[in-house]
Structure 1
């Protein structure tokens, strides 16, 4: 397992993982921008990208993990945890936030296992499925 910042040569490989998860390439431009700005990290196994994390610092000047995506065939192998642990070690701010839908029990477990605490809810993003905000201090 190896974690690094990708370059644009890896854009298609990263976007293809996102397509596997959400079924389309609607986030291609935001992924490209994150790579360009150095806000994307990837985890590789056997020289293939198996997951990625994207963050920014626009959430009240705190770090916010906006995406943690792992190939469906590679889940439950600690890749998401490895990405989060690495990000915690390089986070540009002392506070890290993230979120997931209330229906996403798998991601809630990942956040809890990595020391994140619930910090609130946002209603009305996805109808009938509130967003749970998570927080961790570095």
Structure 2
């Protein structure tokens, strides 16, 4: 899957060899967290990563899995700090929606993550649940992508994320 926007940003499925460059734009992995670095590597090796890039390198990435009740779930959505507010998150959500093969596509984010919540609202995702207990004092909000825009299980579309 390759999607290119008018601004020269390309979204494609990451290759296993892309993991170090992708980890370099992930704030947690770049800070040296070994678990996150291992997760980025595993996600790339399993073909789960959609990476947005321009000639300068990766700008952001999203992880699309099917481990949430066999529905699509954007496990991670990360945009490099220098690439924010350029539509990279929206482009990655669109690519995840286009790639999703399940009838429904979900994501989640912490209540404290207001930028991600605003992105999901702009992209017309609907809040569908709240879970306490994952992060102490910071509940997790779950979102569902509009079914008219979901993957091949309902209708064709493009759009998804967790930050």
TM-score range relative to shorter protein: over 0.9
Residues 27-106 of structure 1 aligned to structure 2 (within 5 Å): 27-106=36-115
The alpha carbon displacement at 1:23 in A equals: 3.0
- Matched residues in 2 for 1:89 and 1:7: separation? 19
Q: Does 1:129 align with 2:135?
A: no
After superposition, the C-alpha distances for 1:46-104 in whole angstroms (9 at most, x for unaligned) are: 24111000121010110110100011111010001000001111112110010000011
Unaligned runs of 5+ in 2: 1-8, 151-163
Matched-pair contact (CA < 8 Å) for 1:20–1:71: no
- Which of 5, 8, 11 is the aligned partner of 1:3? 11
Quote the offset at 1:21 in angstroms.
7.5
Q: Normalising by the residue count of structure 2, what TM-score does the alignment of the two structures yield? A: 0.80
Q: Is the 8 A contact 1:2 1:45 kept in 2?
A: yes
For the 8 Å contact 2:29–2:37, the answer to whether it is kept is: no
Partner Cα distance (2:54, 2:60) in 1: 9
Quick check: 2:18–2:44 contact (8 Å CA) kept in 1?
no
Provide the C-alpha distance between the structure 2 equivalents of 1:9 and 1:89, rounded to a whole number of angstroms. 24
Aligned residues: 138
Runs of at least 5 residues in structure 1 that lack an aligned partner in the other structure: none
List 4+ stretches of structure 1 deviating above 4 A: none
CA RMSD of aligned residues (A): 1.5
- For the residue of structure 2 that corresponds to 1:81, the secondary structure is helix
Greater strand percent: which structure? 1
